[in-house]
Structure 1
Amino acid sequence: MWYSRYGFYPLFTQFPIRSTRSPQTFMFATPYTLDGRAHGELSQQYKRKTIITVANSFPYVKTRVPILSRREVVLTPIEVAIEDIRKKTAELCAAVHQEPPDTKILQMVLQGCIGTTVNQGPMEVAHVFLSELFLGQQLTDLQNKLKICFKDFSKKCLDALKKNRTLIKPDQSEYQKELEKNYQRFTDRLKPLFSGRQSQALTLSKR
């Protein structure tokens, strides 16, 4: 089997490829469900990561080089959810700490996390995979990991809101208030995730 910088031949030319740690190692992800569809409900959504190592680092004089090794990692639906929440958290963190600050990027990331139109996304993830928590039942290791991810995600949302508050102009004050309302609504619905001190910490301070 051979690898080209333009794709896998002959089977995988339709999938995007990205480099991982070194120019010799590449990975692409394929979403799938057990019934054969690429996408499905959250509880049915799997992901297959294919990782390959090639003989020579790119860029290389030849456009096709031999594949030395190939392995696959399959993520279960809850693992896909964990990865997605971690990705959103990383985007928030990057936007908050960007220097110089970029208000447009910060607001775009915030809107994608707690905006009215997407607020159901994280909420749906929580209700699909953490329903036992809302019922007072014991969680599995993966559910506990997702719960921790949600706590970090919520804290980073709060950090982003506070950062945005220091950057906005007076004509955006209503937009800021709307984002804060969305965030408060989000945390209120997920109170079982933020018990005790964590719940107290995730409160917007007055301006």
Structure 2
Amino acid sequence: MSLARLLVLAVLFAAPLAAQADEGYYPIKADDGETIANHRVPVEIESQIEKLPGIVAVGNPHGDVTLVEFYDVNCPFCRAASPDIEAMLKGNPELRLILVPFPVLGIPSIQGTRVELAVARLTSAQNFYKFHRLLDSSRGTVDGSRAIAAAQAVGLDVQKVLKIANEDKLADVMTAHLKLGDALAIQATPGFVIKGVAIVGYPGPKSLAEIIASVEKCGVVICQ
């Protein structure tokens, strides 16, 4: 399947049950004081995240809090959030992170995501996360070549990665990610989903840590 066809399918498959975006269902403030767009998501749509092919879960597999991140390998805000999220994983034994590749920033991102999906199939979640952090800590555009170099850096066989990365069916995997992101009204990256709420954009480490702590304490993103 061509890359152009993949992008067309992403539009055609926009789900009719899409969540209604809301600029502030909860009064979530970013670390800089700005309001962060957020909205409720239907449980029947949120539950589909765990069923997506090609996702990777890291942290405590039985943790009390699951944070989902929809990200693009070339999203500067995703890169800025990445070390903060890693610190949260290390500091919170109850946190589980689900990574959903969401290639919305052009052909290089699609190429990089193909390699991501191959790496996810070939290695452990822990090693995938090491690869993921290598990409996030790099500068410049991440494309297929840059992603292949990162895969090699974490010990994977380049030919095996390329073989999987070039499979036609990976287009269907990426389309599934884009379709569900649309259904969740993830209109920018990074997009987070936690306890029935989609947060569009990165609120900063303090705000995100407070959201996670609230979910642990009272089961909602802001305790009453």
Shorter-chain TM-score: which interval?
under 0.3
Which structure is larger by alpha-carbon Rg, 1 or 2? 1
Higher relative strand content? 1
Q: TM-score, normalised by structure 2?
A: 0.21
TM-score with structure 1 length normalisation? 0.22
Considering Cα pairs closer than 8 Å and 6+ residues apart, tell me whether 1 or 2 has the greater RCO: 2
